[in-house]
A and B are shown apart, each in its own frame.
Chain A
Amino acid sequence: DGGITQSPKYLFRKEGQNVTLSCEQNLNHDAMYWYRQDPGQGLRLIYYSQIVNDFQKGDIAEGYSVSREKKESFPLTVTSAQKNPTAFYLCASSKTRGSEQFFGPGTRLTVL
Chain B
Amino acid sequence: AQRVTQPEKLLSVFKGAPVELKCNYSYSGSPELFWYVQYSRQRLQLLLRHISRESIKGFTADLNKGETSFHLKKPFAQEEDSAMYYCALSPNAGGTSYGKLTFGQGTILTVHP
Listed in ascending order, the chain A residues whose CB lies under 8 Å from chain B are 1, 31, 33, 35, 40-45, 48, 50, 58-59, 90, 92, 94, 96-106
Contacts and interface: CB of A to CB of B under 8 A. Distances in A.
Query: In this complex, which of B32, B42, B43, B102 has the most chain A Cβ atoms within 10 angstroms of its Cβ?
Result: B43
Nearest to B93: A98
6 contacts: A31-B99, A40-B9, A42-B106, A98-B98, A101-B46, A105-B43
| Interface range for B | 20 to 34
B103 A98 contact: no
Contacts of A99: 99
B44 interface: yes
Given A42-B103, A42-B106, A58-B100, A98 B43 contact: no
**Consensus secondary structure, chain B interface:** loop
Interface in B63-113: 86, 90, 93, 98-106
Nearest to A92: B44
Interface of B: 4, 6, 9, 32, 42-46, 49, 86, 90, 93, 98-106
B43 A103 contact: yes
A45 B102 contact: yes
A100 B9 contact: no
B99 A98 contact: yes
Given A40-B9, A42-B103, A44-B103, A97 B44 contact: no
B43 to A, nearest CB: 5
B51 to A, nearest CB: 10
B99 A50 contact: yes
A104 B106 contact: no
Contact of B105 (A40, A98, A102, A104): A40
Nearest to A96: B99
Query: In this complex, which of A35, A59, A98, A101 has the most chain B Cβ atoms within 10 angstroms of its Cβ?
Result: A98
B99 A42 contact: no
B99 A94 contact: yes
A38 to B, nearest CB: 10
Contacts of B105: 40-42
